[in-house]
A and B are shown apart, each in its own frame.
Chain A
Amino acid sequence: MSPVYLLVFVLFLVGVFGLLTRRNLIKLIISVAVIEAAVNLFLVLAGYRQGGIAPIMTEQHPEVEAFAARAVDPFPQAMVLTSIVIGLSLLALMVGISLRLYHIYGTYDLDEIRRAAREEGR
């Protein structure tokens, strides 16, 4: 078994660990981004073919059958392309929420925000 899958999984776990232990909003956003990168890499790895060529038809491989036997799987790539762009819009939304919280409470620290919100509710 190749170690590549294991490394991608370790990258995923680094993100999960950060998400569980950090209390700073920016650190949480970074953890989510790391998890996204790991998942995208895993999906593209699943479609890789040893010694394959990019799924773009060129004059070097005019025969469709020969091309189909050598090209890597284009399907995960298309879906991961969608996922990368959605990841960016997710990040923009998270940054928006964090900035708004910073303007209200003056900190990115979740514990401090919670404390301030509780005092306010009293």
Chain B
Amino acid sequence: MKETSFFRLQHRYAPYLFVSPFLFLFSVFGVYPIFKSLQLSLYITNGPRDHVFVGLGNFQFLLRDPDFHTAVWNTIVFALCSVFLQLPLSLGLAILLSQKWLKGRAFFRLAFFCPQLVGQAFVAVLFGVLFVPKFGLINQTLFSVFGIPDDTKWLQNPSLVMPALVLTSLWMYVGFNMIYFLAALQGVDLELYEAAKVDGANSRQQFFAVTLPGIRPVAVFVLVTATIGSFQLFELPYILLNNSAGPNKSGLTLVMYLFQTGFVTGDLGYASAVGWTLAIGVLVISLIQMRITGAWKGENA
């Protein structure tokens, strides 16, 4: 086929033409909102129409806003629980389910992963029923097994709201992260274990000297994504606590606060300031995590 100049041009520009819908949509719905929100964070707004320039006033107000402080504290507590409870449990489960002597491993893997398939909204509704005082399954079980009063108000008592959230998120995410660890464990060279055994290493030493270094890239990835996910927590508490922040704002997270200020109070400017603070915070924490774990230096990462 003889190529005309039109088709020669096509060969040159067609790739750009094909990626242009993505670029256009990404610019409109991705890049523009980012810069718009940065601009908005310098205004007090009532929706996008009415706005008054306040410079860094929104960020200054954040520093003395008790609700923002509560949201930061709750989010950090939740993130710490995710890192120090969820990930060790996921890893433990993964190690257990990678043991060849365990029968029905495939079934257990599926069973632990399943909660992830149904989504946060469903899980929140489900646990909302399970946590009901007097008649809920959790209270009835705690009463019949441990004699704990069955009118324990998990979602009405400020000191029990966070444990309830953590418990719910554990049910949902332990199995999910377990899958990553399972995949990583399968990639660890078995000869290293044999060599360690020959050198007289016990199980604990094998875990710290062989397993952990072997799965470090995946562990860093899970650590960073779990932390970012924790800082983005919204649907779970929002639905579980009946569209509220819970008693004494005990379930208020940063994203929930962002939503409330932006879409309940109507101040998109202040919500943008909260959003940018959150984004910068998550970025800094992720960088620290990567630095601590050595992922930055490219050591196996």
Our verdict on whether A and B bind, yes or no, reads no
